[in-house]
Amino acid sequence: MQEFDIIIIGAGASGLFMASRATAAHKRTCVLDMGATPGRKVSVSGGGKCNFTNTHADASHYFGKNPDFVRSALSRFTPTDAIDWVKSHGIPVHEKTPGQYFADSAQNIVNALLSDANGATIIQNTRVISVEKNTDTFIVSCENNKKFIAQKLVIATGGLSYENLQTSDIGYKISKQFGHKIIPPRPGLCGIKTQIFDPSLSGISIPVEITIGREKLTDDMLFTHWGLGGPAIYRTTVRDCMDGFTINLLPNCDTFNWLRSQKTTNGKKQLKTILATKIPNKLAEFLSINNTKNIADIRDSDLQTLAQNINNIKLNAQNFSLNGFISAEVTRGGIDTAQISSKTMESKLCKNLYFIGEVLDIAGDLGGYNLQWAWSTANAVEID
């Protein structure tokens, strides 16, 4: 049985960042991971460029049962701190859109994490079987009868997103063992499956406005063979969208009044020709339903129906479903934060047991928010 001061389960962004802090404090640190390589999700993030933070990170960009849980951790390791950390490793960064920071290479971020964690014992290809606590120590049992012991245990196992990168639910199982409640996990930041649009529209991307409850999002939406994707849909799926949402294909346009005015100004043109002045041709053809009449000959009531189908497309539990964890970038749900200290990430039910990163019931918006959450929660853990 190998003995350490701190055992971290999970060699992802939060786990490796936590390991770097522990080794800097001269703690005997062990990182256990079931995969073959550390930082697997980090290495594919941002299309290989790693969107490692967003300067707009605050509670409004995080989702879960209690988004306000993020405030303390984010205030003590801020996006500016993350940018400074990346730059301290000589990694070039650039601001792709306002507040959204990328590295030149995701692998460089992984390398920086491993460099900072140098001194920790990182054990790959090791599946954790069980955890038990004896008085003041945790005993972690792994495959092949390997056992590790430490006074502090940090669960950094992530969620179920990117399931092809060897993800696991072991973090949830461990938390339940110690009495923690799990908010049912589901995919977030993913595409959706729906049959309300024709597969022939696949590849078309347009700016849309999506309404979820009282919130409105404006971003690009992509038509796919199976349904819908793109930033607008990804951002929708991390929110509370399962009761339904609406899509406006022509934001800032009163489509009915616009079409009705076209009867006077362009009466001899076909409907699809008129629509094609604002949206791609294929989509215009699909929405006009092969109506070959001149727009002047189309009844206002029909134009009103068409306008509704453009400005107010309703999706609900009956006509869409989430694409699944294999392509999801984040997990909604996880360990209930009501039972976790927002200041230290320590369990309120078990002393010296900590949970960080995506394993918690906190999911960030698209654009660097989830990696910022990984850094901030790892920074929050008490080491001494």
Residues 126 and 175 occupy one common structural domain: yes
Instruction: Decide if 221 contacts 205 (C-beta within 8 A).
Output: yes
Residues 170 and 206 occupy one common structural domain: no
Residues 200 and 272 occupy one common structural domain: no
The residue length of the chain stands at 384
Instruction: Among 288, 313, 338, identify where a domain stops.
Output: 313
Residues 160 and 211 occupy one common structural domain: no
Residues 155 and 66 occupy one common structural domain: yes
Q: For residue 115, is pLDDT > 90?
A: yes
Residues 112 and 226 occupy one common structural domain: no
Residues 92 and 152 occupy one common structural domain: yes
Each residue of 196-238: pLDDT tens digit? 999 999 999 999 999 999 999 999 999 999 999 999 999 999 9
Residues 141 and 233 occupy one common structural domain: no
Check which CATH number belongs to the domain holding 358 and give it. Answer: 3.50.50.60
Residues 147 and 81 occupy one common structural domain: yes
Each residue of 34-89: pLDDT tens digit? 988 999 889 888 888 999 999 999 999 999 999 999 999 999 999 999 999 999 99
With both helix axes pointing from N to C terminus, report the angle between 13-24 and 369-380 in degrees, rounded to the nearest 10: 30
Each residue of 148-183: pLDDT tens digit? 999 999 999 998 887 666 677 899 999 999 999 999
Q: Structural domain of residue 181, as residue ranges?
A: 2-187+328-380
Predicted TM-score of the model (pTM):
0.94
Check which CATH number belongs to the domain holding 270 and give it. Answer: 1.10.8.260
Q: How many domains would you assign to the chain?
A: 3
Check which CATH number belongs to the domain holding 217 and give it. Answer: 2.40.30.10
Residues 218 and 200 occupy one common structural domain: yes
Residues 138 and 237 occupy one common structural domain: no
Residues 129 and 89 occupy one common structural domain: yes
Q: Report the pLDDT averaged over residues 328-352.
A: 97
d(CA 8, CA 16): 9
Instruction: Single out the residue of 231, 218, 262, 247 nearest to residue 310, CA to CA.
Output: 247
Q: CA-CA distances (angstroms) from residue 334 to 23, 67, 69, 164, 172?
A: 28, 13, 14, 19, 7
